[in-house]
Structure 1
Amino acid sequence: MSTPPTDKDLLQKCRLEIEAKLGWGDPQAWTSQDFELLSERILTDTRIRISVSTLKRIWGRASYTSEPNTATLNALAGFLSYDSWRAYRQAAAGVVSPSPEEPKPAVRSARFPFYGLGLAGLLLGVFYFVRPAEAPDPDQFSFDSRPVVKGIPNSVIFRYDASKSDADSVFIQQSWDDRRRARVSKNQHEHTSIYYSPGYFRAKLIVGNRVVKEHDLLVPTDGWLPLVIQEPVPVYFRSEEAVSDSVMRLPASLIEKKGIPLQPQTPWTSYYYVKDFQGVKSDAFRFETELRHEFGEGSAACRKMQVLLLTTDGVYLVPLSAPGCIADLSVMLRNELVSGRDTDLSAFGIDSAGWTRLVLEGKNGQLRILVNGREALRRPAAKDPARIVGMVYQFQGTGAIRNVALYAGDTPVFTSLKGQ
């Protein structure tokens, strides 16, 4: 009899199958954006997000001190069209459902004439004591939250009631990212957590390994917020430091003054404006802006930059880069991913020396993206409209933005940095 595969063997097999499905070549050459893209594709296929850092650890690109948890394994298996990691394990071991056979005569014992009945009773008893726990009833729990201030960093007070939980393991998770999970007492009713970045999150109350309650949570900015991305806490700048003559930019000299090196690994700079733009929905909107990359040295030679529109259901992400780097780009249209690996995204390759005019428009059931007046991509819009709740600009290195405008239909709702 062959030895069943170990978990280590199965994980290696799973990685190889995912690599074959993706067709991206040697994973040792994958970039951080490749892992971000993989995370988004797994989310699209399975509705479960695996963080980029976890994916890097699974692929041996970062140190790993523990094995992947069950949710992560289930997501990997789901990406390969299996119901669960258990189903993947059974398939790898060649386990199939037994075919029906003719019933065999029962072997009775003269000493124990009711052995069959006794065994059935025993099995029922064992099942009673080891049967899986019933799923908790969500109506027995409550969960809400309140941000303390307007701005970032921001502490959020969560109020919850998990006192009727049969499990001792109760957690509050800030968002989809399981690294932002904290264990709480089921007998307490408040927990405070810090959000270091603004955005639109779905906070979760988890009992055992089940999400019993979740709600949307907007953590807004107080106007524009420029920052340099770092873990776990970004480096913040005042908007007054970054705005001059109706242009927002963080000069390389200002970033280095904060002690942040731009080489050899170039950090990403972000400009956030997060609020609920009441009345602006994804089925009838127009967003216009101009942006320019301003640091293309060393590892930032691709001059990557991207614009994100946050919504209550997913995100619009429009990437731009030097023309030679478009294969690394991926467009996100709320929950639809368009990859430069299998789609011509050459219209998103631009000359970063000048200003780029970008337009996103949702109208008449269509979503259009225009780059410098040219239609770069058109797709059917998602059927369920979502509210637009923020905008984010991100630059590998640094860059500048100006002439920002958001419309509900043809009605202007928000304008900023209006100048030339």
Structure 2
Amino acid sequence: MYTDYKYVQECLKRIETQLGWGDAASWHNDVFIELSERIHQETQVLLSPTTLKRIWGRINYKSAPSISTLNALAQFAGFQNWREFKTSQPEEKPSRFRKIIDEKVGVIMLSAAFMTIVFISLFSLSDPERPAIDPDRIEFTSQPITGDLPNSVVFNLDLDGIESGDVVIQQSWDETRTVRLEPGQTQATAQYYYPGYFRSKLRIDGSIIKEHDLFIKSDGWLGTLDYSPIPKYFSEAEVVRGGLRLPEDALQELMSREDPLVSAFHYVNDFGPVSGDDFVLETSIRNIYHEKWAVCQRVNLLILGSRSAIIIPFSIPGCISEIGVMMSEVYLGGKENDLSGLGIDFSESRDIRIEVTDKYIQVFAEDTLLYSGSYTQSIGRIAGFRYRFVGAGEVSKLKLMDSGGKVVLDHNFN
């Protein structure tokens, strides 16, 4: 535990209260993405979703946050910098009685620690090693309750003969989305607010013992206003109308807001064995609201895979420091990397082409190369697509081709 740990936890509590997004233990990956965006909007410092997960303890990471990270958190919490936040906290000064007690307790604890080490050493000589867990003896299945969203999923387990106090269900490839089980528990439920392809894992004592696929489809195109934690949904009939776009009343609702709001379109389905590491995607995108807090015209195009995902971001040139590329295990933030090629104006419809060949990505607007990069960990089979606008946008076409040039999906909304 690092020196400022207690202060960091207090700062996180302030931020959670300030946001009003509910218990941070229930925050999923998209919440941390939105938090990253909010912090950057207010502090001009980009903290990646992975960094935020580490600070909130959702990813095991023992090192202390950097001072620039702490300054950004303090500013987001309403202070000038980390030093001002620390000095604002009441300092606990132990009384003379407390000091005397602490000195005596220190002697007692030192003696107790020595005796404990001796006891453990002796006990370990005779304690038999715990037998290895046989995955074939374990039942681990899941069943969605409905075909709609939001959707609750019931996990069924049979852990007969397993003695462990550390049993966790990991809901997807996102390691922060977990459900912890009590000893003897045979069922657990988890909530899913968005469609997607999730690889659920059963972890015992930190090791993956069993896993299976959980596929929540979108039933055609689905539109959302991404309120947290529960989005507002719009059916395919409501969003496919001379282009993929939100209904007029939803657009007015979004435009009347004083705070940023993300809108999104989702298409999640079974595309067969189409590799997420070898494909061509063609689409046309236009931003239809770029006033007030949406002036940067930020758009994220997500390619969802059975194992991971690819996120290609865009914004106007003046806001490229706010965006970040994700390619499976690789995350590149605009503060530390030159992403200026992805700075384009979507006031008019732009034709975007993404080519992925053996985990090497090239992004084009019309015939101009905007960005190229690579990753090493496969995203698996393609499971769907998601367009996320900070504000509102319109999609006029989406075409997917496999590595051999075969057309897998061809949606023209005009």
Equivalent of 1:401 in 395, 403, 411: 395
Equivalent of 1:411 in 406, 409, 413: 406
Partner of 1:147: 144
**What is the alpha-carbon distance in structure 2 between the residues aligned to residue 183 and residue 237 of structure 1?**
32
Instruction: Call closer, same or farther: CA 1:296–1:314 in 2, change over 3 Å.
Output: same
What displacement does 1:275 show? Answer: 1.4
5+ residue gaps in structure 2?
13-36, 67-115
Equivalent of 2:318 in 314, 321, 324: 324
Please, which moves more after superposition, 311-320 or 374-383? 374-383
Instruction: Call closer, same or farther: CA 1:414–1:5 in 2, change over 3 Å.
Output: closer
What displacement does 1:239 show? Answer: 1.8
Could you list the per-position Cα deviations for residues 96-124 of structure 1 after superposition, in whole angstroms to 9, with x for gaps in the alignment? xxxxxxxxxxxxxxxxxxxxxxx998663
Partner of 1:347: 341
Partner of 1:93: none
Please, which moves more after superposition, 303-312 or 278-287? 278-287
Given residue 311 of structure 2, which amino acid in structure 1 is its aligned partner?
L
- Local SS of the residue matching 2:250: helix
Partner of 2:28: none
Equivalent of 1:370 in 355, 364, 371: 364
What displacement does 1:216 show? Answer: 3.2
Please tell me whether residue 214 in structure 1 is matched to residue 211 in structure 2.
Answer: yes
Within 5 Å, which residues of 2 pair with 1:239-250?
Answer: 239-245=236-242, 247-250=243-246
Equivalent of 1:300 in 285, 291, 294: 294
Please tell me whether residue 162 in structure 1 is matched to residue 148 in structure 2.
Answer: no
Given residue 197 of structure 1, which amino acid in structure 2 is its aligned partner?
Y
Partner of 1:77: 63
What displacement does 1:392 show? Answer: 0.2
Identical amino acids, percent of aligned pairs: 28
Q: Is the 2:281–2:354 contact (alpha carbons within 8 Å) kept by the matching residues of 1?
A: yes
Partner of 1:38: 48
Partner of 1:335: 329
Partner of 1:94: none
Could you list the per-position Cα deviations for residues 184-231 of structure 1 after superposition, in whole angstroms to 9, with x for gaps in the alignment? 454353333331111122323244655543333221110001011122
**What is the alpha-carbon distance in structure 2 between the residues aligned to residue 37 and residue 226 of structure 1?**
27
What displacement does 1:28 show? Answer: 11
Partner of 1:62: none
What displacement does 1:381 show? Answer: 5.9
Cα root mean square deviation, aligned: 3.8
Please, which moves more after superposition, 183-192 or 267-276? 183-192
5+ residue gaps in structure 1?
16-26, 43-49, 59-67, 81-118
Partner of 2:282: 288
Within 5 Å, which residues of 2 pair with 1:11-410?
Answer: 30-31=40-41, 38-40=48-50, 51=53, 55=55, 68=57, 72=59, 74-77=60-63, 124-127=121-124, 137=133, 139=135, 140-168=137-165, 170-175=167-172, 180-207=177-204, 211-245=208-242, 247-251=243-247, 253-256=249-252, 262-363=256-357, 366-380=360-374, 382=376, 384=378, 386-408=380-402, 409-410=404-405
**What is the alpha-carbon distance in structure 1 between the residues aligned to residue 271 and residue 117 of structure 2?**
63
Larger Cα-atom Rg:
1
Instruction: Call closer, same or farther: CA 1:306–1:138 in 2, change over 3 Å.
Output: farther
Given residue 137 of structure 1, which amino acid in structure 2 is its aligned partner?
I
Given residue 49 of structure 2, which amino acid in structure 1 is its aligned partner?
S
TM-score under structure 1 normalisation?
0.68
**What is the alpha-carbon distance in structure 1 between the residues aligned to residue 300 and residue 369 of structure 2?**
17
- Local SS of the residue matching 2:397: strand
**What is the alpha-carbon distance in structure 1 between the residues aligned to residue 374 and residue 177 of structure 2?**
34
TM-score under structure 2 normalisation?
0.69
Q: Is the 2:241–2:413 contact (alpha carbons within 8 Å) kept by the matching residues of 1?
A: no
Could you list the per-position Cα deviations for residues 253-298 of structure 1 after superposition, in whole angstroms to 9, with x for gaps in the alignment? 32445xx674321210010001121131134311010111111121
Instruction: Call closer, same or farther: CA 1:222–1:120 in 2, change over 3 Å.
Output: closer
What displacement does 1:373 show? Answer: 2.1
**What is the alpha-carbon distance in structure 2 between the residues aligned to residue 215 and residue 240 of structure 1?**
32
